[in-house]
């Protein structure tokens, strides 16, 4: 952080857990978190590796974690398309306990088509086998009160031939493609999955259920569309789903958020979406994520995983093992 940059609030009250971890022996792979030690954009909350270590040491059995790109530490010189490699280099250089940062998902402009291979080469050189793929978020809603991705991703981005060619290039190298989109954009993810059948596609954050702007107070109506589109997407076998983002402000109805104070409250609120996703994709194509520190707007790390455990406590041991660790280990090729 330079002296001209404003400090990022640490929100220390959110970093200290208030609940005790339930089922502390259940193995967890946190499939989605970020690290920020300097401002990057509006979602950037100060969250260095020390904070992640503190969170995963709060009582749950977190054995591995996956770092997701968040526009941090880009190169400021050299070819523009190689700038995101700086983030992978930075994460790969961080001294962390065994298992944490076991996988890195970076960014590349897949609109480069087959020329994206030059960027992928640089990412792999920086992180080796820890580099797992690329995320290119396409979340877009034309209502001014709905938050869109920081990427330049207007409607139809995933339908471009050059974009789809770039995604196919990922699959040819055994790398995955990951994206965040809103519920009304899932048809584009489906088309992309069909255009790149040999590429594993990871759908972030429950497939984008929205709770703000025109969707506030219309949760049931939104949920119908979300369910229909998610079930349609689940027909594509190369798509897997991440269950998380439940503390992401655009997903939460403003008048409801203050009432979600405990893991039981959170579990009750999100149970319909979480269980539908699991039933639709199956445990072998679903995996939980913390989305920290972004989801810390709702609760602390221990409370979040308690909520996930409460939402699945009636499932079989094998199903829960897949949801909390097994699917993630397979999808991200974790040893």
Question: What local confidence, expressed as pLDDT, does residue 70 receive?
Answer: 94
Q: Under DSSP, is residue 269 helix (H, G, I), strand (E, B) or coil?
A: helix
Question: What local confidence, expressed as pLDDT, does residue 12 receive?
Answer: 37
CB neighbours of residue 43 within 10 Å? 16
* SS3 of the chain: helix, strand, coil, percent, to 5: 45, 15, 40
Question: What local confidence, expressed as pLDDT, does residue 43 receive?
Answer: 65
Give residue-wise pLDDT tens across range 250-274.
999 989 889 999 999 999 999 999 9
Q: What's the pTM value of the predicted model, to 2 decimals? A: 0.93
- C-alpha closest to that of 315 among 279, 264, 265: 279
Question: What local confidence, expressed as pLDDT, does residue 42 receive?
Answer: 61
CATH, domain 26-331, list 1.20.1050.10, 3.40.50.300, 3.20.20.80, 3.20.20.140: 3.20.20.140
* Cis-peptide, bond into residue 26, ω within 30° of zero: no
- C-alpha closest to that of 284 among 320, 233, 236: 320
Question: What local confidence, expressed as pLDDT, does residue 150 receive?
Answer: 75
Domain boundaries of the chain, sorted by first residue: 26-331
Question: What local confidence, expressed as pLDDT, does residue 227 receive?
Answer: 98
pLDDT under 70 in the chain at which residues? 1-17, 39-44
Question: What local confidence, expressed as pLDDT, does residue 147 receive?
Answer: 87
Distance (Å, whole) CA 326 – CA 136: 25
For residue 33, list its beta bridge partners: 67, 292
Question: What local confidence, expressed as pLDDT, does residue 3 receive?
Answer: 31
Question: What local confidence, expressed as pLDDT, does residue 18 receive?
Answer: 84
Q: Which residue blocks in the chain are alpha helix, DSSP H? A: 12-15, 49-56, 85-93, 117-127, 161-172, 186-195, 219-233, 263-281, 301-311, 317-321, 327-331
Contacts of 236 (CB under 8 A, 6+ apart): 190, 193, 194, 201
Q: Are strands 239-243 and 201-203 parallel, antiparallel or unpaired?
A: parallel
């Amino acid at each position: 952080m330079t002296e001209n940059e404003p400090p990022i609030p640490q929100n220390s009250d959110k970093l200290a857990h208030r609940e005790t971890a339930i089922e502390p022996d259940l193995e967890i792979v946190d499939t989605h978190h970020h690290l920020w030690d300097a401002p990057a954009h509006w979602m950037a909350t100060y969250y260095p590796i020390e904070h992640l270590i503190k969170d995963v040491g709060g009582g749950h059995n977190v054995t591995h974690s996956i770092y997701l790109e968040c526009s941090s530490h880009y190169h400021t010189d050299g070819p523009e398309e190689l700038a995101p490699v700086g983030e992978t280099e930075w994460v790969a250089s961080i001294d962390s306990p065994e298992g944490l940062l076991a996988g890195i998902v970076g960014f590349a402009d897949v609109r480069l088509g087959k020329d994206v291979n030059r960027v992928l080469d640089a990412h792999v050189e920086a992180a080796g086998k820890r580099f797992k793929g690329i995320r290119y978020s396409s979340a877009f809603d034309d209502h001014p009160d709905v938050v869109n991705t920081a990427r330049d991703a207007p409607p139809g981005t995933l339908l471009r031939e050059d974009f789809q060619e770039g995604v196919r290039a990922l699959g040819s190298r055994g790398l995955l493609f990951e994206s965040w989109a809103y519920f009304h954009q899932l048809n584009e993810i489906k088309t992309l999955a069909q255009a790149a059948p040999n590429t594993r596609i990871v759908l972030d954050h429950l497939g984008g259920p929205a709770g703000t702007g025109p969707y506030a107070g219309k949760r049931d109506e939104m949920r119908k569309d979300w369910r229909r589109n998610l079930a349609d997407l689940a027909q594509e076998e190369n798509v897997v789903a991440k269950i998380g983002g439940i503390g992401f402000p655009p997903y939460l109805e403003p008048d409801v958020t203050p009432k979600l104070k405990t893991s039981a409250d959170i579990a009750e609120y999100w149970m319909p979406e979480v269980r539908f996703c699991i039933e639709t994709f199956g445990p072998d194509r679903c995996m939980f994520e913390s989305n920290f520190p972004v989801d810390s707007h709702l609760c602390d790390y221990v409370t979040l995983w308690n909520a996930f455990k409460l939402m699945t406590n009636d499932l079989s041991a094998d199903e829960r093992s897949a949801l909390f660790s097994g699917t993630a280990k397979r999808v991200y090729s974790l040893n």
